[in-house]
Structure 1
Amino acid sequence: MKLEGKKALITGGNSGIGFATARLFIREGAEVAITGRDQKTLDAALAELGSKAVAYRADVTDSHARADLFSKIGQRFGSLDIVFANAGIPGVTPMGSTDETVFEHIIRVNLTSVFFTVQAALPLLNDGSSIILNSSVLGSLGHPGQAAYAASKAGVRGMARTIASELSPRNIRVNVVAPGATKTPIWSRDSTPSQADEELAAKMAATIPLGRWGEADEIAKAVLFLASDDSSYVQSVELFVDGGNVGSPNGGVAFRSA
């Protein structure tokens, strides 16, 4: 098993990519702490993950909640080997009609809180640990209406490279996973996707070279690679897991000649 004996923290581990990653980490031998803001989904996740998981209700933007979280993790685990800073929110911020508080909230959740989560984790991190930050293809693609989200995710990339420079003397690796369109609850909170959801999914799939959305488990496998010794000489990378969307932006069926 790739993570035998390792201890990991996954923020936003109660659903979507975070939950899929927690499940895979446990399968690979790790003990995992997950966080989330919704107690109901935390309880459901913990029931499925089993005895090698522990769940904490915590708001990553709240400094007091972060301090309490890492105090509890320290008491439970003693130290950490992996941090997957995954928690984040979407948000539409069109130029000309965006409220400043909406813009700032997206930055605070997706960028500022990631920095302070990693900072708070440092006293618990063993030398040789792995930190993975969750970015997005939208940090590179320039999609209309996504200025704050794109800025936050591009910021994650730049921040990761700087943190890696600072932590390399401890052999702590800091890398970024950048998912493309992925089937997670962030796109639809309803149990049954609406017609609008399905139309959006089809349009987006047509722009992706591999012709489909990704699965949360596929992103989790990339995170596992960055967390494990398989990537022992990988530092400061942004790993796109996007079906070719960034690398081959005109490769989807929507751009191919008949």
Structure 2
Amino acid sequence: MGRLDGKVAVVTGGSAGIGAATARRFASEGATVFVTGRRQAELDTTVNEINAQHNGGQAIAVRSDVSSLADLDRLYAQVREHSDRIDVLFANAGTAELARLEDITEEHFDRLFGINVKGLLFTVQKALPLLADGASVILPSSIAASKGVAATSVYNATKAAIRNFARTWAAELAGRGIRVNAVSPGPIETPGFSGLFGGVTDAAQATDLKDALLTGMPLSRMGDPDEVAAAVVFLATDASSFTTGSEIFVDGGLAQV
């Protein structure tokens, strides 16, 4: 029996990377997982691969953009068609771009805060009527909330906001037994990590920034999405029943040593 047998989970931003790895693990633990993404083809591929494994749980694809409140409403309407509750919510959807202080534009700021902060906030808020008492909510912070690296100020600020959401919502939702925690990855081999350098047009500058992120990491390597997913599963299950408002780092020691 899986640790999430009979549970209903939602993973936003689950088409690839950490979201896809987590959806796969949730299903392998027996959960029914609603997986969202903006690109239908990638989303369908991920969900079909999960379901082809016949591992006890199942995945259901829902195309959704968390920056659209109408899309979030449609997501939860679809969840209601299948279930009267959500036991686990991994509000994973997010985006990353680099821009030095002198290059930050209003569009850059609005895009990152619109997806990473506004989108996440309303993902959780709109889930509240469906969240079961005792549910687990997991938020995607980052070592970026704890470290300063050139050209990451807006991105880092969004992740710091998410870290504080976990603390605040843990206090607000404690009366319902709902636990809210954050997982904070370091450099992980995902499309999102590669996308972090999309705003840097100078190739040498991009290389320098990437090298800076890896400098001083005790484990001296990039992480794998499944290593982060393992931490998310811990937070989703009863193994973490006395853990709320916390932050789990999965960063190879980069922000710790």
Q: TM-score, normalised by structure 1?
A: 0.90
**2:217 is matched with which residue: 204, 208, 220?**
208
Distance 1:200 1:149, change over 3 A: closer
Q: Aligned-pair RMSD on alpha carbons? A: 1.9
Q: What is the distance in 1 between the residues matched to 2:45 and 2:98?
A: 29
Residue 220 of structure 1 aligns with which residue?
229
Q: Aligned-pair distance for 1:202?
A: 6.1
Query: In the alignment, what sits opposite 1:243?
Result: 252
Map Cα deviations across residues 79-98 of structure 1 (whole Å, 9 max, x no partner): 11000000000011211121
CA separation of 1:197 and 1:151: change in aligned 2, threshold 3 A: closer
In structure 1, what is the equivalent of residue 79 of structure 2? 73
8 A Cα contact 2:149 2:213, kept in partner: no
Aligned to 1:124: 130
Report whether the alignment pairs 1:4 with 2:5: yes
Query: What is the SS of the residue equivalent to 1:246?
Result: coil
Contact 1:206 1:212 in 2 (8 A): no
Greater Cα offset, 94-103 or 21-30: 94-103
Aligned residues: 244
Equivalent residue for 1:63, pick from 41, 44, 69: 69
Paired residue secondary structure (1:105) = helix
- Counterparts of 1:1-258 in structure 2, within 5 Å, are 1-50=2-51, 52-188=58-194, 204-248=213-257
Separation (CA, whole Å) in 1 of partners of 2:238 and 2:255: 27
Rounded Cα–Cα distance in structure 2 between residues aligned with 1:154 and 1:206: 22
Question: Where does the alignment leave 5 or more consecutive residues of structure 2 unmatched?
Answer: 52-56, 196-202
Instruction: Please tell me whether the aligned partners of residues 182 and 245 of structure 2 are also in contact (alpha carbons under 8 angstroms).
Output: yes
Q: Which amino acid aligns with 2:236?
A: A
Q: Which amino acid aligns with 2:98?
A: V
Whole-Å separation in 2 of the counterparts to 1:147 and 1:199: 17
Shift of 1:2: 1.2
Provide the rounded CA distance (Å) in 2 between the counterparts of 1:196 and 1:33.
39
Instruction: Specify whether residues 197 and 4 from structure 1 end up closer, same or farther in structure 2 by C-alpha distance, changes over 3 A only.
Output: farther
Contact 2:112 2:154 in 1 (8 A): yes
Closer/same/farther in 2, CA of residues 147 and 201 from structure 1, 3 Å limit: closer
Looking at structure 2, the residues matched to 237 and 148 of structure 1 have their Cα atoms a distance apart, in angstroms, of 23
Identity %: 42
Match of 1:118, SS state, is helix
Residue identity in the other structure for 1:220: A
Q: Tell me, which stretches of 5 or more residues in structure 1 are unaligned?
A: 249-258
Deviation at 1:205, TM superposition (A): 3.8
